[in-house]
C-alpha cells in the first residue's frame, strides 16, 4: 500500500499469508476495488501483509485477520461487519462520503429512504444541536447514515412542533429526539440505530451489546421452519409493533435462525423454537419460567425481566469466564480436524484458557497450521521419551548382569576359603 497525501481516503485490508479467511476474501477485495473505481469513488483500495509490514500493523493496532479499516483525514475507522462485498461496499460508501449528507428535495429524501432501513436527519439552521449531531456522526458513521434537510424536503406527513430537530426514520415511521425524555443525543442515536424488529445475526447481536439494551429473540430453525417457529416470530413482532412505547427503551426485538452464538452464551444447546432475552453488556440471559403461548404471557415475561422476578442466568464474573473459556476451548478442539484433539480432554483450566486465546483462532483461520501447532510439541515430547528409554538398559541386559553376578559368586567363595587355609 502506498500512502499519499493526508486528504486521500484509503480502504485497507491487513492480512496474514497463513490466514484462510484472508485468502477467501481476496477475490471479493479485487471486486470491491474494481467497483469503487468504476463508480468514480474517492476511496482507494489497498492491502498490507501484517507479517511483513509489522510497524504499520502495530501503528493501526491490528489484532486479528483479516482486519479492515478506512483512513480518512488521518482518522481511522474500523470495520467489524460481515466480510461480504455488500457489507464492505456499504461501509466504504458511508464512511468515504460526507459525514452529514444534504437532502435538498423531497425526491432525494424518498430516494434515501428507499436505500436505508435506518437514517437520522437534522432539520433546521445552524445551532448547538447541529454541532452535537455532527459530533455524533463523526463517531457513529461506521454504523449508520446521517442527513440534513430543510422542512420543505420532508414529506408532509412529518409533523414537527419546533425547530431545530433530529429525527430517526425506520420501520415505515419516524421518531423525534427529545432531550428531556431521551437524554444524550449520541446515546439516543446509538440506541435507535437498529430497526425495531428485524432478522438478527451474531454480528448485529454483538453490536447491540454496546447500547446496554436487552434483546428479545425468537429462536427459529435455519431451514424448514415449523409452525411453532413462525408463531413465535409473529408474537415478538406484534409486541415490538404494538408495545414500543412501553418496552422500546429497554428492549430490541427480533428473530434469529442460527443459534450458535446463543449456544456459546448459555454454554449448551438451546431448544428451538424458543424465547430468550439476552443482555450482551453482562453476558447474561433470561428464559421464560413457564411456556409462552400468548401475547400476554410474553408481556408478563418481559415485565418479570424488568422487575427482577425472572432469574438472570450466566454473567461475566470470574467463575463464569473460566467456565466459558473451558466451554469454548472444548468446542474449538472438538471441531478440529486434527486427531490429537481427543487426547486433550484432561487439560487443566489455565492451559485451556491459553488454547481458547491462541489455538482456537488458528484452527478457525488455518486448520492445517493449527494441527501442526498442537501436534509438533507432542511429537517432540514423544521423541524425547523414546530417546530416554533407549538410554536405559534393556531387560535382557539386566538378566545378563544378574546371571554374571550369580556365576561369579561360587568362585569368590572358594578363593575366600583358600585364603583362610593359608593363613592357618
pLDDT in tens, 241-259: 999 889 988 999 999 998 8
User: Which whole number is the average pLDDT over 345-370?
Assistant: 42
Domain contains 417: no
Looking at residue 373, what is its pLDDT? 52
Percent of the chain with pLDDT over 70: 77
Residue 422 clears pLDDT 60, i.e. is over it: no
Both 173 and 222 in one domain: the answer is no
Both 310 and 214 in one domain: the answer is yes
Percentages of the chain per state (helix, strand, coil), in multiples of 5:
50, 15, 30
At 274, is the pLDDT very low, low, confident or very high (cuts 50, 70, 90)?
very high
- 218 vs 403, more confident: 218
Domain contains 374: yes
Both 330 and 358 in one domain: the answer is yes
Looking at residue 362, what is its pLDDT? 46
Whether residue 312 contacts residue 296, with contact meaning beta carbons closer than 8 Å, is answered with no
Domain contains 418: no
Lowest mean pLDDT among 40-44, 54-58, 190-194, 281-285: 54-58
At 203, is the pLDDT very low, low, confident or very high (cuts 50, 70, 90)?
confident
Looking at residue 312, what is its pLDDT? 94
Both 56 and 74 in one domain: the answer is yes
Domain containing 206 — which CATH number? 3.40.30.10
Both 88 and 16 in one domain: the answer is yes
Most confident residue range from 85-99, 300-314, 383-397: 300-314
For 171-302, strand residue ranges (E) read 173-176, 197-199, 214-219, 251-256, 274-279, 284-286
The whole-chain average pLDDT of the chain stands at: 81
Domain contains 395: no
Domain contains 1: no
User: Which whole number is the average pLDDT over 355-359?
Assistant: 41
Whether residue 274 contacts residue 256, with contact meaning beta carbons closer than 8 Å, is answered with no
- Asked which of 192, 214, 242 is the last residue of a domain, the reply is 192
User: Which whole number is the average pLDDT over 48-67?
Assistant: 87
Positions marked active-site: 19, 22
Looking at residue 161, what is its pLDDT? 86
Both 270 and 292 in one domain: the answer is yes
Both 13 and 78 in one domain: the answer is yes
User: Which whole number is the average pLDDT over 265-285?
Assistant: 91
Domain contains 294: yes
- Asked which of 96, 125, 149 is the last residue of a domain, the reply is 96
Number of structural domains, the chain? 4
Looking at residue 409, what is its pLDDT? 42
CB neighbours of 74 closer than 8 A, spacing ≥ 6?
6
Both 149 and 251 in one domain: the answer is no
Q: What are phi and psi of 136, to 5 degrees?
A: -65, -35
Both 151 and 213 in one domain: the answer is no
Looking at residue 61, what is its pLDDT? 85
Please give the Cα distance from 28 to 379 (Å, whole number): 39
Domain contains 400: no
Both 187 and 201 in one domain: the answer is no
At 375, is the pLDDT very low, low, confident or very high (cuts 50, 70, 90)?
low
Looking at residue 379, what is its pLDDT? 63
Looking at residue 58, what is its pLDDT? 87
Both 214 and 289 in one domain: the answer is yes
Helix (H), strand (E) at residue 350: helix 349-354
Looking at residue 355, what is its pLDDT? 41
Residue 338 clears pLDDT 70, i.e. is over it: no
Whether residue 169 contacts residue 123, with contact meaning beta carbons closer than 8 Å, is answered with no
Whether residue 92 contacts residue 32, with contact meaning beta carbons closer than 8 Å, is answered with yes
Nearest to 310 by CA among 293, 292, 286, 294: 286
- 323 vs 332, more confident: 323
Both 273 and 234 in one domain: the answer is yes
pLDDT tens sequence across 144-188: 999 999 999 999 999 998 889 999 999 889 999 999 988 999 999
Domain contains 4: no
Nearest to 219 by CA among 248, 257, 186, 181: 257
45: left (phi over 0), alpha (psi -120 to 50) or beta: beta
Domain that holds residue 263: 197-314
- Asked which of 49, 65, 96 is the last residue of a domain, the reply is 96
DSSP state of 342: G
pLDDT tens sequence across 21-45: 899 999 999 999 999 999 888 999 9
Amino acid at each position: 500500500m502506498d500512502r499519499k497525501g493526508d486528504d486521500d481516503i484509503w480502504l485497507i485490508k491487513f492480512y496474514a499469508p497463513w490466514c484462510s479467511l484472508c485468502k477467501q476474501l481476496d477475490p471479493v477485495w479485487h471486486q470491491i476495488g474494481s467497483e469503487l473505481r468504476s463508480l468514480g469513488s474517492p476511496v482507494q483500495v489497498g492491502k498490507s501483509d501484517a507479517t511483513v509490514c509489522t510497524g504499520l500493523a502495530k501503528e493501526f493496532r491490528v489484532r486479528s485477520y483479516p482486519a479492515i479499516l478506512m483512513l480518512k483525514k488521518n482518522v481511522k475507522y474500523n470495520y467489524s461487519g460481515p466480510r461480504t462485498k455488500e457489507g464492505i461496499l456499504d461501509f466504504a460508501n458511508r464512511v468515504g462520503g460526507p459525514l452529514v449528507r444534504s437532502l435538498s428535495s423531497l425526491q432525494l429524501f424518498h430516494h434515501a429512504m428507499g436505500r436505508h432501513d435506518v437514517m437520522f436527519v437534522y432539520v433546521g439552521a445552524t445551532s448547538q444541536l447541529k454541532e452535537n449531531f455532527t459530533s455524533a456522526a463523526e463517531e457513529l458513521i461506521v454504523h449508520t447514515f446521517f442527513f440534513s434537510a430543510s422542512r420543505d424536503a420532508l414529506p408532509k406527513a412529518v409533523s414537527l412542533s419546533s425547530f431545530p430537530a433530529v429525527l430517526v426514520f425506520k420501520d415505515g415511521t419516524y421518531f423525534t429526539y427529545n432531550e428531556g425524555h431521551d437524554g444524550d443525543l449520541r446515546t439516543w442515536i446509538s440506541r435507535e440505530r437498529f430497526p425495531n424488529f428485524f432478522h438478527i445475526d451474531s454480528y448485529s447481536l454483538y453490536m447491540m451489546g454496546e447500547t446496554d439494551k436487552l434483546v428479545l429473540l425468537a429462536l427459529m430453525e435455519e431451514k424448514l421452519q415449523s409452525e411453532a417457529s413462525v408463531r413465535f416470530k409473529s408474537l415478538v413482532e406484534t409486541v415490538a409493533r404494538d408495545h414500543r412505547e412501553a418496552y422500546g427503551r429497554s428492549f430490541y426485538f427480533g428473530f434469529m435462525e442460527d443459534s450458535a452464538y446463543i449456544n456459546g452464551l448459555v454454554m449448551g444447546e438451546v431448544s428451538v423454537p424458543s424465547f430468550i432475552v439476552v443482555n450482551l453488556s453482562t453476558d447474561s440471559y433470561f428464559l421464560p419460567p413457564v411456556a409462552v403461548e400468548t401475547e400476554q404471557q410474553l408481556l408478563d415475561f418481559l415485565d418479570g425481566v424488568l422487575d427482577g422476578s425472572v432469574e438472570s442466568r450466566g454473567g461475566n464474573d470470574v467463575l463464569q469466564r473460566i467456565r466459558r473459556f473451558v466451554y469454548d476451548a472444548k468446542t474449538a478442539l472438538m471441531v478440529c480436524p486434527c486427531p490429537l484433539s481427543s487426547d486433550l480432554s484432561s487439560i487443566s483450566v489455565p492451559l485451556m484458557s491459553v488454547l481458547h486465546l491462541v489455538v482456537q483462532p488458528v484452527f478457525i483461520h488455518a486448520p492445517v497450521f493449527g494441527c501442526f501447532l498442537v501436534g509438533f510439541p507432542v511429537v517432540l515430547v514423544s521423541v524425547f521419551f523414546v530417546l530416554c528409554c533407549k538410554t536405559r538398559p534393556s531387560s535382557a541386559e539386566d538378566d545378563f548382569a544378574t546371571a554374571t553376578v550369580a556365576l561369579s559368586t561360587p568362585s569368590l567363595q572358594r578363593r575366600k576359603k583358600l585364603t583362610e587355609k593359608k593363613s592357618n
